[in-house]
Amino acid sequence: MTLTTTYLDELIGSGLLIPTGVDGLYGRSGVFEDVIERFNALVTRFGQDDGAEVMRFPPALNRREFEKSEYLKSFPQLAGTVHSFMGGDRDHHELLGKLEAGKDWTAEQKATQVVMTPAACYSVYPTIANRGALPANGQLVDVFSYCFRHEPSLDPARMQLFRMREYVRIGTPEQVMEFRQTWLDRGRAMMESLEVPVDIDIANDPFFGRAGRMLSANQRDQQLKFELLIPITSTEKPTACLSFNYHQDHFGLLWEIQTEDGEVAHTACIGFGMERVALALFRHHGFDVRTWPASVQALLWN
């Protein structure tokens, strides 16, 4: 039995996670949710003086905007679409017949106009684009959403449905790079204050296919992505719990977002994996929050 499955079994045995019969899909206990809520409040405290505009979206995107994002070019293996029954009585009868016979009934479903949200920031870009040119100081958005990525796994830190809190900075290259550096420092300080082992390293996204390997290499070479790593199910391969991403003008070009002087806007985002942080805290401090270090309890609960 690996450390991954052992930790998963322990989380389920303690009642913190509730199995559903699908790898990577779990219910959460009240204790687990409370830790996430407390950490979420801590993130707010660290970022409260920046004046971010708060946006909250459901875990689904307009399919047209999703297609525009080019997510399918890079991560088709992770995307999740929403399908629904759109037939008549005869089609319904055929569906029920297949269901009763234990056959595949999903062919009777058709794609809807929504897809599952792959990252919280994807709802922000079209929203900002629809407002016209940015103000002189750009835009900063605080966004939070459940996200979906199709990667079934026994690793509890690799869930299919999970929550992501992000600060999204949109503006000039100088503005977004300054923002990312600020949060690189803040993120480390915040997680170190929770007394878990942390490291920050250059990273890349899981781009798909042969062309994706080149994109991954370019992303690392240009240091466009950093991750804050904490050991959860492996000490050799610690888990990315925070990410610090510079997209350059990618989303600015796709949605024609312009700065005040008419230049293509650049973007950066800081992402907090809420479940992963909670799992890291339980991993290093134990399953009973009452036994956590007093300083950590004070930081989260006072």
pLDDT in tens, 11-55: 999 999 999 999 999 999 999 999 999 999 999 999 999 999 999
**In angstroms, rounded to a whole number, what is the distance separating the alpha carbons of residues 162 and 271?**
12
pTM of the model: 0.94
Q: Structure tokens of 230?
A: 């904490």
Look up residue 8 and give its amino acid.
L
The rounded Cα 94 to chain-centroid distance in angstroms is 38
- The whole-number pLDDT of residue 1 equals 55
Each domain of the chain, given as residue ranges in start order, spans 3-80+118-301, 82-115
CB contact burial 11-35 (16+ within 10 A = b; e otherwise): beeeebbeeeeebbebebeeebeeb
Top CATH class of 3-80+118-301 equals: alpha beta
pLDDT in tens, 178-228: 999 999 999 999 999 999 999 999 988 777 777 777 778 887 888 889 999
